[in-house]
Structure 1
Amino acid sequence: MRVVPPVVPIAAAGSALKEAAIGARMLWRGVMTWKAAPRTMAWGLVPAGIAAIILGAVVVAALASAGPAGEWVADRAFADGSLPHGLLRAVVAVGLVGAAALVSIYTFTALALLVGQPFFERISRELDANDPTLDAEDPEPWWRAALRGVAEWARLLLLTVPLGLVAFVLGWVPLVGAVAAFVVSASLGGWLLALELTAYPLSRRGIVTLAQRRAALRGHRARAIGFGAAVFVTFLVPGAVVAMMPAAAAGGTALVRSLPADPARRVAAPHGPR
């Protein structure tokens, strides 16, 4: 069964906010793929469910340790029962949960893509099936792609840890700390998610390695972050992460197809913006 992807217009050069909004709409296109091809999308539920169990364990551990960690820090700064003590305890607890969310959401996505590589590749391939400019065969064997995926996951995971610490520290800023920490987590986490979720469609376009994906998306960073941040936010909704994972994979393909540099777009609009 072939899925005919929706036509994605090339946006004129505009503000970063407009580009981010276009990226966020790519996730909605991925969600709509559930309606167009429910059987194809259902293949992604099994690996997403397995990864969600691991994610749930991490989140539960973070929630369980957030309170005691906040209490421990607050006890060493202020007298127990005072207003500053209570505020610091809450700030530390919220910051810890936010940092854990950033790390766990990225880990969930990478793990789901790794465990369910054949399933998510099938979803992405079906969305690209009507594109005559792409090769039907994958550019590298699945086992080599899996090994490379593990190495790339480890490299990006090392990056999420300091990003999580940044979000944790920002959470300490009075009044605007929680908002700033969330924005940073969603933006930086969104970029990492975009790098992961575009791996399959970009590999069919000859863009295989992590460095190549970064270079391909760097010129469209706002659009990529808008897409990844939308995925990040939806993954925070309890119970939605499993059903949204196939949609996120489909949205990654829609994002690639929306880029002006995509081969399908050059055929459709040779004079479009580069």
Structure 2
Amino acid sequence: MRYLGQGQKWVLRNGRWFGFGLLPALITLVLYTVALIALAFWADDLATWATPFADDWDSPWPGLLRGTFTVLLFASGLLLSVLTFTAVALLVGEPFYEALSQKVEESEGGGPEGPDRPLWRELWISLCDNVHVLLRVAAFAVPLFVLGFVPVVGQTVVPVIGFAVSGFFLTVELTSVALQRRDVPVRERLRLLRERKALALGFGVPLVLAFLVPLVAVFLMPGAVAGATLLVRDLVDGRASGGSEDGRGDGGETTGPHPYPRGTTWTNPRPS
């Protein structure tokens, strides 16, 4: 959570960049608001269409079943919007967040310039990476949706697991800006964060909970991108440098100045 606080402090100290980072999130918010309103409007009809077998049931069971289905459907839509909001905002705001993240790097002593690729290529890579991550999210979301129908467990354990899953993948999405600049492939990003689950959850879960409050996601996104950049500098740069005297310690904490050599890209630190 320290990185979240540092990221928000950075954008508040640099107000121009805070406003700059709000634009993609505002556009994405409008799109999701329209989609959720449409889902709420059609949820009852979708519940009736999905449960034709309940037409012959005695009252009040059809209403209870369809009411539960409607609530779960809208809750799933809300959860999906939380899971995908960052991915869509990052895709819409690729140039905005890349510039913001680069500015954070410069203010902290410099960072890699990243691969020299045209904008369309960067957007295509981001789209492919987001699809890869969303497929993994779906592998969790579908079973959790089904388990949501289980009495007691579906109203207690499942939401907790859902927030943990959402928080982990939200961290994956937010750190992708700085990790793409280091040319770290998406599979390696997932592996890095799986090895530091507590770090990933500590950063992502509070954001997921905050994003459930209307409009909060818009105002936290610039600081979240800045905080994720600071997280990556400690997690990846220190690891790649091997924790030198001028860099990061073995635990990923800052022990002194750590200027990342410009033009340097990711190399897998795992022993052969």
TM-score normalised by the chain length of structure 1: 0.77
**2:70 matched to 1:89?**
no
1:117 maps to 94
Report the CA distance between 1:55 and its aligned residue. Answer: 1.3
User: Distance between the aligned counterparts of 2:229 and 2:242, measured in 1?
Assistant: 12
In the alignment, structure 1 segments of 5+ residues that lack a partner are 1-23
Deviation per CA, 1:36-56: give whole Å up to 9, x if none: 111112111111111111111
The equivalent of 2:199 in structure 1 is: 223
CA distance in 2, matches of 1:174, 1:242: 35
User: Which residue pairs with 1:148 in the alignment?
Assistant: 125
Superimposed CA distance per residue, residues 150-178 of structure 1 (whole angstroms, 9 cap, x where no aligned partner): 11122223333343322321221212313
The 3 A distance-change label for structure 1 pair 64 and 180 is farther
Select the structure of larger CA radius of gyration. 2
Partner of 1:44: 21
Q: CA deviation at 1:237?
A: 0.8
Task: Give the unaligned 5+ runs of structure 2.
Answer: 253-272
CA change 1:229–1:65 in 2 (3 A) is farther
- Give secondary structure in 1 for the equivalent of 2:156: helix
Identity of aligned residues (%): 33
Calculate the aligned-residue CA RMSD, in Å: 2.8
Are residue 235 (structure 1) and residue 211 (structure 2) matched? yes
* Alpha-carbon distance in 1 for matches of 2:138, 2:169: 12
1:74–1:89 contact (8 Å) kept in structure 2: yes
More RCO (CA 8 Å, sep 6+): 1
Give the counterpart of 1:66 among 43, 46, 56: 43
- TM-score, normalised with respect to structure 2: 0.78
Query: Residue 213 of structure 1 aligns to which amino acid in structure 2?
Result: R
Instruction: Check conservation: 1:224, 1:255, Cα contact below 8 A.
Output: no
The change in CA–CA distance for 1:179 and 1:66 in structure 2 (over 3 A counts) is: farther
Q: Distance in 1 between matches of 2:157 and 2:67?
A: 16
Contact 2:168 2:204 in 1 (8 A): yes
> Is 1:273–2:251 an aligned residue pair?
yes
In 1, Cα distance between equivalents of 2:97 and 2:245: 26
Q: How many residues align?
A: 248
What amino acid is aligned across from residue 211 of structure 1 in structure 2? R
Q: 1:247 aligns with which of 223, 243, 263?
A: 223
Q: What letter corresponds to residue 220 of structure 1 in structure 2?
A: R
**Structure 1 position 189, deviation (Å):** 1.9
Aligned to 2:78: 101
Offset from partner CA, 1:64-98 (integer Å, 9 cap, x none): 3333444556673484542x555433432232123
1:171 is aligned to 148
Q: Is the 8 A contact 1:167 1:181 kept in 2?
A: yes
